[in-house]
């Protein structure tokens, strides 16, 4: 999966029902999805990560490192679908 806009940032904010995940493209904020509260994701993405940074995440030997790898993979899949179906139309 290749992304054209690797400088777009993915970040989370606390919402009413959990965490709201947003995509920031050149200052324009796009809502992606909501998920249940999770301290690992919040601490990791509250300041935002670029798509390029998320593609370089590798699993380590610790459980937290492996969770971050799987979260990054899932987020990249959602971002790819958003680029393909929402921004293309």
Domain borders along the chain are 9-87
Tokens 């509260």: give the residue.
37
Q: Read off the DSSP letter of residue 27.
A: T
Confidence (pTM): 0.86
CB within 8 Å of 32: residues ≥ 6 apart: 10, 21, 22, 23, 75, 78, 79, 82
pLDDT digits (tens, 9 = 90+) for 10-19: 999 998 889 9
57-78 pLDDT tens trace: 999 999 999 999 999 999 999 9
């Amino acid at each position: 999966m290749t992304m054209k806009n690797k400088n777009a940032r993915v970040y989370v904010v606390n919402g009413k029902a959990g965490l709201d995940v947003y995509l920031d493209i050149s200052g324009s904020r796009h809502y992606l999805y909501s998920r249940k509260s999770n301290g690992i994701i919040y601490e990791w993405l509250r300041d935002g990560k670029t798509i390029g940074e998320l593609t370089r995440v590798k699993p380590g030997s610790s459980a937290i490192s492996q969770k971050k790898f799987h979260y990054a993979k899932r987020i990249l899949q959602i971002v790819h679908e958003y680029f393909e179906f929402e921004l293309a139309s």
